[in-house]
Amino acid sequence: MPQGAAHLATEAEYFHRIEAELIEQMRHRAAEEEELRHMAEASHIADFQILETLEKLGYTHHTVILLHLVPLVEMAWVDGSVSSTERDHILAVAREHHIAKNTPAYQQLIAWLEQRPSPEFFKESWRVIQAEFESLPANERNASKAVLAHSCKEFAYSSCERSSWASRICTAKRNLLKEILWRLARR
């Protein structure tokens, strides 16, 4: 093959490879944007930055329904482990929220109960929960906060009903419950 033809073939391969990479990047970005649209529909969150935060935290349109269970997961882990009673309680709450077994949301919840999410995950999830509350009309916001507060109190009390509130575990849960109630009381 003459040298000029070899150069043209190499150049054509190079541009073909660059074009294929660009097409793949465009497909990947389109899929990400589609996922964000689905997540916006599932969560009723319109703020693109918040949706991106959810995506970075590992949420998908299938798992964003778990957002309001995160405070229970955080409370379960506050003492360093999740008891079988706590696990059962959280899974019962998940069923009440129509989270069925063998769904991505259920599998994600199980993963959170088996391996503690990072402190950053809890912090950022709370930030999203607060933003979601702020996007609601006042009466809906207050009702949603009341439901979450009740759920957290019920979980804390049921977790500690067999031991005294003065125990180390229940003290940690009580302190976290106070923090959660404070977060929910903020505007």
* Domain assignment present for 89: yes
* Domain assignment present for 121: yes
* Domain assignment present for 39: no
pLDDT of residue 35: 65
* Domain assignment present for 119: yes
Q: Between these two residues, 48 and 184, which has the higher pLDDT value?
A: 184
For 44, what's the count of Cα atoms within 13 Å in the CB-facing half-sphere? 9
* Domain assignment present for 98: yes
pLDDT (tens digit per residue) in 73-117: 999 999 899 999 999 999 999 999 999 999 999 999 999 999 999
Burial of 135 (0-12, 13-18, 19+ CB in 10 A): middle
What is the spatial distance between Cα 65 and Cα 50, in angstroms, rounded to a whole number? Answer: 15
**Which pTM value belongs to this model?**
0.77
**Overall average pLDDT of the 128-146 stretch:** 90
* Domain assignment present for 99: yes
pLDDT of residue 186: 79
Confidence of residue 132 (pLDDT cuts 50, 70, 90): confident
pLDDT (tens digit per residue) in 23-46: 777 677 766 676 667 677 766 777
- The total number of structural domains that make up the chain: 1
Confidence of residue 1 (pLDDT cuts 50, 70, 90): low
Q: Nearest 5°: CA angle at 135, between 131 and 136? A: 125
* Domain assignment present for 108: yes
**Overall average pLDDT of the 42-66 stretch:** 85
* Domain assignment present for 33: no
Determine the longest span between alpha carbons in the chain, in angstroms: 87
Confidence of residue 172 (pLDDT cuts 50, 70, 90): confident
Is the pLDDT at 151 greater than 80? The verdict is: yes
Is the pLDDT at 163 greater than 70? The verdict is: no
- What single-letter DSSP state applies at residue 153? H
**Overall average pLDDT of the 154-175 stretch:** 77
- Of the candidate ranges 61-70, 114-123, 156-165, the one whose mean pLDDT is the lowest: 156-165
pLDDT of residue 144: 93
Is the pLDDT at 187 greater than 60? The verdict is: yes
The parent domain of residue 138 ranges over 48-185
